[in-house]
Amino acid sequence: MITTLIADQLFDGKTLHVNRPISIEDGKIIAFDTIKGATEKKVRGLLTAGFIDTQVNGGGGYLLNQDTNLHTLKAMSTAHAKFGSSSLLPTLITSNVQKIAQTADLISNAIAQHTPGIIGIHFEGPHISEPKKGIHSGEQIRSLSQQELDIYCRDDLGIKIVTLAPENVSCEIIKTLVAHNVHVCLGHSNATFEQAQAALAAGATGFTHLFNAMSALESRAPNMVGAALLDEHSWCGLILDGHHVHPSSAKLAYRAKAAHKMMLVTDSMSTIGSEQSQFHFDGHDINLIGDKLTSNSGQLAGSALNMITAVNNATQMLAIPLTDALNMASLYPAEFLGIADTRGQLSIGANADLTLLSTTNSSPRVVNTWIGGKALF
């Protein structure tokens, strides 16, 4: 069956169109026109590509680290779809090797079952820096073992990200990871500028939550933040919740970084899409106060950010057009992951992963999300 949606506006990743039809069949975009015999539906608002979140720890009341099962993945996907995300990389925070192996098996099973919204896995740690561990368990920080390398190099996990500290992982291991289709991100690191540059030369292509848990830019020592902003070929994730990064610092970074290389991430925990206001994680009591998640010691503990809020924050904090902010949540992460031919923009042959936004006020909200051509609500 062919379905044609006709929205007030359609943003395809390059151009904003008015009353442009989009036709869908078997989960794919087949035309930007009406087709004889198709079921036509007029929708009010702005239709754009579904958002892609490369760093998402939980949602719907569940955390991947604590409830490592298919129900959690489905709850996360459903929760984040309400805020426009159609593709997630569920993120495992620093854990023991048994949990890493269990999570890898879970993701493999989820992808084999075509679980909506789940496109791979992000292993954030445990090969990170003790001084920059943040909320991560210091007891679990360690060198990258052969057993872990074998897990990361599996070819049944979909899209793979590993966040690591380059001062603790050799360039040879980074090259091995990259050769096995792992997107290596640098983060939770106290690396020098030279160490970060060496990791980039070895094939690292991303920086995990820019500014947070990484060596800061200084006048005589550019460190990791300096390497991230200076490099023209890598991508930076940015948590725009107003707590992780000062808006002016975010604006400065956006202007300094090469075009199309800054992407939005949520780093969200279990509270998204739920009534949860507190939970326990790895020895910490985490509380949601307003829109901020902190431990009892006042330390940031992930975020309570959803992607449409990140998009709206980007337009305000970075002073950029909505279309640019939408690309930061869709096209740019798709380009980072190497999947822009199927996700992140609306083009013929791409997956029909769509988000419909209400544009009746200055801060758009999500009206509906489609994954593979199926409306979720």
Catalytic residue annotation: 267
CB-CB neighbours of 97 under 10 Å: 14
Single-letter amino acid, residue 173: I
Amino acid at 275: E
Q: In sequence order, what DSSP letters do the residues of 31-79 get, joined into one string?
A: ESS--TT-EEEEEEEEEEEPEEEEEE-EETTEETTT--SHHHHHHHHHH
User: Three-class SS of residue 284?
Assistant: strand
β-sheet bridge partners, residue 17: 10
Rounded to the nearest 5°, which phi and psi values hold at 349? Answer: 95, -15
Instruction: Name the token pair of 256.
Output: 């300094």
Q: Give the list of residues 6+ apart from residue 289 with CB closer than 8 angstroms, or none.
A: none
Distance of CA 358 to the CA centre of its chain: 23
As a whole number of angstroms, the distance between CA 118 and CA 198 comes to 32
Measured in residues, the chain has a length of 377
| Cα dihedral 248, 85, 286, 129 in deg (nearest 10) | -70
Q: How far is 143 from 162, CA to CA, in rounded Å?
A: 13
Q: 111 φ, ψ to 5°?
A: -70, -40
DSSP string of 199-253, one letter each residue: HHHHT--EESSTTTTBPPP-SS--HHHHHHHH-SS-EEEE--SSSSS-HHHHHHH
**Measured distance CA(194)–CA(324) in Å, rounded:** 32
The packing angle between helices 171-179 and 193-202, to 10°, is 30
DSSP of 145-188, one letter per residue?
PHHHHHHHT-SSSSEEEEEE-TTTS-HHHHHHHHHTTEEEEE-S
